[in-house]
Structure 1
Amino acid sequence: MGPEINSGFDVFSVLSIIFPILFIIAFIGIFINILHGVKQWNFNNKQPELIVPAKIVSKRTETHHHQHNHNNHHAIHTTNSYFVTFEVESGDRIEFTIQGYQYGQMSEGDNGKLTFQGTRFIGFERGR
């Protein structure tokens, strides 16, 4: 038998250190996201509900693609986010994230009553 060669690099030792660190980083990121969401929800709940005259000045969407691999099955999941920007009487513009069915019922140039609470969109009723 020849001499045993030791390269000094053990892949399993390195992985046993890296995976827990990555797991902790991911957990901290998720926790911070949840904390931010709760903080925003609490802020919105403390704000008055406002109803103001407004005009829709723009609409936009963002499409996100998520790839999943499970048991050698490759799938792409797509989600859309919908945004509408309103201009109020003072000239200020406010953008809200809204649901897809609401987005489809609104057109740029529509005038009406915008209802919101903090950063939370509640509704928009077109003027008659």
Structure 2
Amino acid sequence: MHGEHDEIRRVPADVNDVGTAVMDAAFAVHRHFGPGLLESVYEHCLAEELSQRGLRVERQVAVPVSYRETRLDVGFRLDLLVERKVVVEVKAIDALASIHTAQILTYLRFSGVRLGYLINFNSIMLKDGFRRLVL
């Protein structure tokens, strides 16, 4: 059954295609290394894998916050911004927590991007470390 909630979760096909490419690239990186490395290593390798697939990737993108008509750099940095359509937050931790979901939802809200992925590369099975979030 489809309702209003389903409509909110949908993103345009081109955005979803970029998301699929992010997932495929993340699985390739995880297959190569497995769990146990630093977040920065996975971030670099995922960016390289996406670039090799012909996607435009920006790393550590500053996201300003507007407060009373003033733009402030409060230190928000997106790990990866792919094709300016998908935000990727890379983790290498024991387990994802609700604070990590809140973090990426905040990044989506402030960046104006609708689709984000939270990827914990420290998972034995990477599918268990994926969260897809849509605003």
- TM-score tier by shorter-chain length is under 0.3
TM-score (norm 2): 0.23
Task: Judging by fraction of residues, say which structure has more helix.
Answer: 2
Structure number with greater Rg is 1
TM-score (norm 1): 0.24
